[in-house]
Chains A and B, each alone.
Chain A
Amino acid sequence: MIQALFNILIFPGVAFLFAFSLIAEFVDRKICARLQNRMGPPWFQPLADFIKLLGKENIVPCNADVRIFKFMPVLALAASAASFLYIPLWRAKAPHSFDGDVIVVLYLLTIPTLTYFLGGWYSRSVYSMIGAIRSLTQLFAYEVPLFMSILASALLANSWNLSEIAQFYSRNHGLWLFNFIGFSVALISLLGKLEKTPFDIPEAETEIVAGSFTEYSGKLLAFFRLSLDVEMVVGASLLAAVFLPFGIGFTPAIGFIVYIAKVLAIVAMISLLRTLFARLRLDQMITLCWKYFAPLAFLQVIINLVLKGVFFK
């Protein structure tokens, strides 16, 4: 019981997750800055931003629906933190796992996007409403490729349990190479979920000020920003567990280091993609996702089905 509480609250639970997501944000910003030939922030910058925002005044617009406005950041944080419990990190088994938890994790990761929509819509400001609608429209574009590529990987492993998927791939070395297309599609769709360039349309600073977050300030904005970072770490861990499953069978110490290295490598790739492209327009993004990424993910599903039929009778 004490062990379970320790797992959930401290390690590898909430406290570890928050600390790691702040470090991941630092790595992201530092790599982005170095690619742009400038210095970048010091290591404590995300923590300093968080503490500064906690100290600022909470301004709620008079037209806004106060209860939903205040509840959304908390919900975003809670949902993304809860999904962390089901992802196998460096042990063979996640802190909690059951059959079908792939679906639960993916749905829990969709909740933050819904909170951005609801928070922006109920702020009742023009910019927030436009940002909220864009957020939801973007959801329809990247959702399908992301789900399909992860489920393709699950199909090959013949299970809907994340821990079993990770164990399957670490047992059969070399099979994860066949998931390469799925990995690329999932990485780019993760950019859409995290709302980073080229898909940072809902939060386009030069068009709609700050999108859904325009009216947020103080503690609520601090939680929203932390939930964005937590989502990044959780998404990267999910991709690492499903597509890059080495380091699961080793001793916990080495496994821990391998896990940190995997997640930071995925975060570095996200930073690289962020600096490489301009922001797309919403209609261009939807055409791109449905014309190229969804068929590629579907192709990955077919490849995996063929493999399953050939190798595993």
Chain B
Amino acid sequence: MHNTQDVQVPFGPQHPALKEPESFLITLRGEKITSSSVKIGYNHRGIEKACEERTYIQDLYLIERVCGICSHSHATAFVQAVEEIAGLEVPRRALYIRSLIGELERVHSHLLWLGVAGHEIGFDTLLMYTWRDREVVMDILALLTGNRVNYGMNTIGGARRDITSSQAKAVLKAVDTLEERTKYYIKIATQETTIIKRLSGVGVLSKKDAISLGAVGPTARASGVARDVRKDDPYAAYAELDFKVITADTCDVYGRTVVRVLELMESYKMIRQILKDMPEGPIAVRAPRKIPVGEAVSRYEAPRGEDFHYVRSNGTEKPDRVKVRAPTLANVQAVSKMLEDRYLADMPIVIAAIDPCFSCTDRSIVIKNSVSRGSKTIPWEVLHVQSIEWYKEHKGIDFSGLNKKYAKNFKI
């Protein structure tokens, strides 16, 4: 063009390419992206604060609803942290059940991702086919857990439901069907020219950048960084299972596709192992209502990467502080780096390749001072006192008695 003015295109918060609201402001020159910036926080729901107002049993269901697709990951990570503080010894059968549901959830999530990736590059046929096969997994999960998403299989001290032998047979049959379909998708992903053209060389993140920007999950594994919490820090039944950590070294979106599709095959192997080696025994131990004083950190390999929970208890029925760091928060900082010097057409697939789940991500608020344009971090107690003062002054409402009043709704 004659005078190349840079055009600023807002990509979000509302956009057909984004499944959840995020704001990417990109500067374009013709079709090339010159710079991009990310703003998150549109999905902040105050879950961490809400956790402090509810007992541990109620928090289990609240934490599960942080995300729809990685619900079991969040619930298990939370429960693992609480069990560590309380010093509970979870029976082995419960650990195996948790791993089974975790792997089935991973299958569900990766099949969903394949469809979404197909849609972002304009290949709607792949979307329809993978989502048709995803129904098989959701039916199996409805059979095992009672719901298609948000499974509720965990309770503090173990699992809530048992796996009967007829259910195990149904799972094995479904896994056979899915394995055949996944082999077909591997063939398509590696041999269809238009897919390879759209996905190779796009969203390159070198190994050094992946480590320095803190990428996790398949995003990092496609750049050759062999980090997997299931191998590095085994939890649940993973210490006794035999599986490979899949990496690729193409460092681009094509590598991420290959990593996810091969991880599907590993998951099928693991599901068969779990069902074969499932130990007998009880599925839960009795957990106390009041968890003793302590704090714990727990990590879980969600389908998107490393999920990190921190729980601190103060001896009552309600936790003192719960913090959730979702994998997308670690991956979203790499997006600006990946978009450097690429075309506008690559934008949706690069964002989709980190498998964004912005409902998981939005946990923190950054308050910018509108005059000085700086920002400061306000600790919890200061913010609490400041908010009570503000409402007293500006609206004439006194909230200092609120905690006691609110707690009455959940007491008898």
Contacts and interface: CB of A to CB of B under 8 A. Distances in A.
Nearest to A276: B125
Contact of A200 (B120, B122, B344): B122
A37 B194 CA distance: 21
Interface residues on B, range: 20 to 34
A283 interface: yes
B401 interface: no
A36 B122 contact: no
B346 A281 contact: yes
Interface string B116-137: 0011111111101100100000
Q: Which 6 A-B pairs have the closest CB atoms?
A: A279-B122, A278-B123, A206-B17, A278-B194, A36-B128, A206-B348
A282 B31 CA distance: 9
Interface string B1-42: 000000111100001110000000000100100000000000
Given A200-B122, A207-B348, 4 more contacts: A38-B128, A207-B345, A277-B123, A278-B126
A75 B198 CA distance: 35
Interface in A146-182: none
A197 B122 contact: yes
Contact of A206 (B28, B120, B126): B120
A126 interface: yes
Query: What range describes how many residues of A lie at the interface?
Result: 20 to 34
A117 to B, nearest CB: 14
B9 to A, nearest CB: 5
B7 A279 contact: no
23 contacts: A36-B128, A38-B128, A130-B7, A130-B9, A130-B28, A197-B122, A198-B122, A206-B16, A206-B348, A207-B17, A207-B345, A207-B348, A209-B16, A278-B121, A278-B122, A278-B126, A278-B198, A279-B194, A281-B198, A281-B346, A282-B31, A282-B345, A284-B197
Interface of B: 7-10, 15-17, 28, 31, 118-126, 128-129, 132, 192, 194-195, 197-198, 343-348
Nearest to B14: A209
Contact of B345 (A36, A127, A129, A204): A204
Nearest to B194: A278
Interface string A118-132: 000000001101100
Contacts, number: 77
Contacts of B118: 278
Given A126-B9, A206-B17, A209-B16, A280 B125 contact: no
Contact of B347 (A127, A129, A207): A207
Contact of A275 (B16, B120, B124): B124
Contacts of A204: 122, 345
A129 to B, nearest CB: 8
B15 A275 contact: no
A6 B124 CA distance: 42
Contacts of A279: 121-123, 194, 198
B50 to A, nearest CB: 34
A205 interface: yes
B344 to A, nearest CB: 6
Nearest to A126: B9
Nearest to A208: B344
